[in-house]
């Protein structure tokens, strides 16, 4: 009888410990997975599960991610918010890779925002051969102006107008009209390659960005969970 009492006490202690520490372990694992895309901190991720021990079976009730002013490569994000419900993962893979790789999410959404000044700096880097650049936002459109070299010798003024949008999983700057003026001539075109801003391919949380809104100098990307 005493042996069974000891076993029951140990089992109770294990369950209490599991309920307390399993969510913390999951938070660290998710942070590690997200670090492949974003420069986040461990406390930017919160996990809820009841009982907590169910996490060891690969089930999480809810995950909340809230981060501000972080880098994703060369691009600075103002904030990132995501709420996920019914999160599932492979526990054995989590042990092997030391990070939690989500396999399926029942529902959830995300928003990510980038400030105008950070977009300006990033666009200037993305457009090759442009000197003395200036970037202005006009409603939901973007205008990039600067000097370019024609044939590597003659200086000309370039004026590029476009907008931000999603192409598949990629956030892009999509030119709509290009005007180059030099040597007393003006040439207009609508043919200029789009510039990739950020690629959400293989995003760890299974979220598919689907909409971009530019308002008051803030670019906001909206997305939903996609299990396809």
Q: Is it the case that residue 190 has pLDDT exceeding 90?
A: no
Task: Please tell me the distance from the alpha carbon of residue 200 to that of residue 203, in angstroms, as a whole number.
Answer: 5
* Contact call for residues 82 and 205 (beta carbons, < 8 A): yes
Please tell me whether residue 89 adopts helix, strand or coil conformation: strand
Task: Please tell me the distance from the alpha carbon of residue 14 to that of residue 32, in angstroms, as a whole number.
Answer: 26
* Contact call for residues 223 and 209 (beta carbons, < 8 A): yes
**pTM reported for the whole predicted model:** 0.78
pLDDT in tens, 166-176: 988 888 888 88
Among 20-24, 36-40, 165-169, which stretch is predicted with the lowest mean pLDDT?
A: 20-24
* Contact call for residues 23 and 48 (beta carbons, < 8 A): yes
> Could you state, in order of their start, the residue ranges of all structural domains in the chain?
2-68+77-107
């Amino acid at each position: 009888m005493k042996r069974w009492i000891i076993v029951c006490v140990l089992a109770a202690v294990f369950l209490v410990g599991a309920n307390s520490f399993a969510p913390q372990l999951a938070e660290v694992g998710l942070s590690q997975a997200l670090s492949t895309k974003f420069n986040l901190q461990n406390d930017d991720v919160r996990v809820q599960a009841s009982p907590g021990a169910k996490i060891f079976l690969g089930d999480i009730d809810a995950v909340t991610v809230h981060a501000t002013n972080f880098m994703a490569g060369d691009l600075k994000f103002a904030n990132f918010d995501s709420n996920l419900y019914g999160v599932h993962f492979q526990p054995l893979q989590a042990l092997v890779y030391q990070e939690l790789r989500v396999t399926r999410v029942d529902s959830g959404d995300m928003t990510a925002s980038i400030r105008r000044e950070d977009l300006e700096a990033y666009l200037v880097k993305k457009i090759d051969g442009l000197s003395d650049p200036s970037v202005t936002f006009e409603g939901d459109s973007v205008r990039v102006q600067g000097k370019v070299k024609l044939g590597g010798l003659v200086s000309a003024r370039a004026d590029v107008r476009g907008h931000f949008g999603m192409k598949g999983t990629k956030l892009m700057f999509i030119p709509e009209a290009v005007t180059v003026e030099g040597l007393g001539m003006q040439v207009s075109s609508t043919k200029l390659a789009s510039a990739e801003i950020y690629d959400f391919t293989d995003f760890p949380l299974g979220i598919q960005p689907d909409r971009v809104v530019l308002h008051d100098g803030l670019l906001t990307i909206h997305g939903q969970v996609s299990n396809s």
